[in-house]
């Protein structure tokens, strides 16, 4: 049985984001454990589009095998041969930290391994700011995107963490061309009531944002 919550639509890359990316020099993207169909297909498409230069990390034989399946000659690109998830994640993160790559991309490894590698002090990626996960959701027919945070990294975020999430969402939207984004803080009630703690947190976050978040339209507590 097909789940009613799973879309049958084919995913489409937002063309406005692709066009924006083409306006910049293609970054070097370290793909942690690249030797699997999905990361290799994504890397090939992005490389052809001119928006990335792949830096392959993982089992070299598997990477070359997947490239061969795609009829993709990857001889011009670096391959860092590693063994297993952890070594691939650590190596890819270290390449970014050392300046040998510009972007860290998740390949065929578990999220917890990937994140552990990224936040490791040895990777050199820490900036003093909190890691925040952001979903960018766009409609296949175009229109304004929806950003959701935090849905993967910060499991039980406190108020300070959620303040960081708001700040990073606003900053990202502004970099994507939305000069005055709208931010909604979601809860299960229309008004702040003590019996629903998330609603009280939402009210506190909305009040904080009015004084601390610049160039964003009124935050809505739902």
Q: Report the C-alpha gap between 156 and 148 in whole angstroms.
A: 15
Q: With the C-alpha atoms ordered 147, 130, 220, 181, is the resulting torsion angle positive or negative?
A: negative
The CATH number fitting domain 15-123, selected from 3.40.50.10950, 3.40.50.450, 3.90.1150.10, 3.20.20.70? 3.40.50.10950
The pLDDT-based confidence of 64 (bands split at 50, 70, 90) is: very high
Count of CB atoms within 10 A of residue 73's CB?
9
Query: From residue 61, how far is each of 35, 45, 82 by CA, in Å?
Result: 8, 21, 10
pLDDT at 61 over 50: yes
Lowest model confidence (mean pLDDT) among 30-44, 134-148, 166-180, 199-213: 134-148
At 103 the three-state DSSP class reads strand
Residue-wise pLDDT for 10-48, tens only, equals: 777 888 889 999 999 999 999 999 999 999 999 999 999
The neighbouring-strand residues paired with 137 are 146
Q: What share of the chain in percent tops pLDDT 90?
A: 61
- 201 with 221: CB under 8 angstroms? no
The residue that leads in pLDDT, 2 or 41, is 41
What residue segments make up the domains of the chain, in order of their start? 15-123, 135-221
Beta pairing class for 28-32 and 103-106: parallel
């Amino acid at each position: 049985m097909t789940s009613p919550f799973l879309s049958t639509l084919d995913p489409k890359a937002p063309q406005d984001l692709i066009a924006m990316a083409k306006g910049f020099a293609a970054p070097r993207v370290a793909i942690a454990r690249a030797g699997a169909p999905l990361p290799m297909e994504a890397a090939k498409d992005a490389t052809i589009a001119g928006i990335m230069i792949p830096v392959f990390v993982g089992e070299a034989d598997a990477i070359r095998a997947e490239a061969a399946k795609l009829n993709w000659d990857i001889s011009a690109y670096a391959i860092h041969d590693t063994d297993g998830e952890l070594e691939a994640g650590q190596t890819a993160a270290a390449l970014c930290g050392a300046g040998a790559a510009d972007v860290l991309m998740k390949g065929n490894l578990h999220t917890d391994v990937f994140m552990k590698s990224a936040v490791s002090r040895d990777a050199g990626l820490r900036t003093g700011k909190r890691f925040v996960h952001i979903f960018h959701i766009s409609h296949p027919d175009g229109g304004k995107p929806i950003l959701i945070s935090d849905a993967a990294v910060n499991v039980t975020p406190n108020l300070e963490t959620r303040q960081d999430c708001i700040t990073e969402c606003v900053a990202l939207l502004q970099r994507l061309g939305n000069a005055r984004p709208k931010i909604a803080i979601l809860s299960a009630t229309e008004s702040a009531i003590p019996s629903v703690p998330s609603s009280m947190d939402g009210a506190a976050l909305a009040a904080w944002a009015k004084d601390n978040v610049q160039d964003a339209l009124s935050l809505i507590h739902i």
